[in-house]
Amino acid sequence: MQVRVSDDDLLLIIDVQNDFCASGALAVADGDAVVPVINRLTERFDHVILTQDWHPPGHSSFATSHPGSAAFDVISMSYGQQTLWPDHCIQGAPGADFHPQLATERAELVIRKGFRPAIDSYSAFYENDRRTPTGLAGYLRERGLQRIFLAGLATDFCVYYSAVDARRLGFTTVLIEAGCRAINLAGSLDAARAGMAAAGVQRVNDLG
């Protein structure tokens, strides 16, 4: 599909970090394959923003913080259901760095998320309580950016939550599937696709 990119469009790149790529602590299958796609896409946009998972040691979303629990268990937290993850993207550790081949030079902003010890943060816009904002929406509105294209990792968690929140906030939102890969945990990819469709997120394979 051929999509024309305009000067008030944004490429929002979600969590293309070492721990989500090959040999990472929470590696997404084929995650490295998004890097050349995203680098090509970056050249098409005047505006690029990155998100970066940025957890303190012992974060409450880590399975190791809950004795008797295992990675990928789901528990109840004060803000709702929380999947427990392997320790990943720890602040200042190599796993939290962006993939070394990812072109980051043209990014005008990096949104770090998940840094509050007691709450996880999938979305680029809100913590997992669905109320605490990151400030990204205000930044985009002040800059006059109206349409958001998303790519990154993983389709069914951080990309999905970011896309649905973008729509909830009134932005036109387009998922570029060639630039994403999924964890697909217990049907999470199908659920994410259904949720995005219900929210009005457009899906394209690539920009052509």
Residue from 21, 89, 158, 180 carrying the catalytic annotation: 158
User: What is the rounded average pLDDT of the residues 8-14?
Assistant: 98
Give the 3-state DSSP-derived string for the chain, with helices as H, strands as E and coil as C: CCCCCCCCEEEEEECCEHHHCCCCCCCCCCHHHHHHHHHHHHCCCCCEEEEEECECCCCCCEHHHCCCCCCCCEEEECCEEEECECCCCECCCHHHCECCCCCCCCCCEEEEECCCCCCCCCCCCECCCCCCECCHHHHHHHHCCCEEEEEEECHHHHHHHHHHHHHHCCCEEEEEEEEEECCCCCCHHHHHHHHHHHHCCEEECCCC
Query: Is 113 marked active-site?
Result: yes
Amino acid 4: pLDDT? 87
Query: Is 120 marked active-site?
Result: no
Each domain of the chain, given as residue ranges in start order, spans: 9-56+89-204
Amino acid 70: pLDDT? 97
Query: Is 180 marked active-site?
Result: no
User: What is the rounded average pLDDT of the residues 42-47?
Assistant: 96
Residue from 9, 15, 32, 165 carrying the catalytic annotation: 15
CATH dotted code for 9-56+89-204: 3.40.50.850
Residue from 89, 113, 120, 156 carrying the catalytic annotation: 113
pTM recorded for the entire structure: 0.96
Q: Using pLDDT thresholds of 50, 70 and 90, give the confidence band for residue 1.
A: low
Give the tens place of pLDDT for each residue, 80-139. Answer: 999 999 999 999 999 999 999 999 999 999 999 999 999 999 999 999 999 999 999 999
Amino acid 165: pLDDT? 98
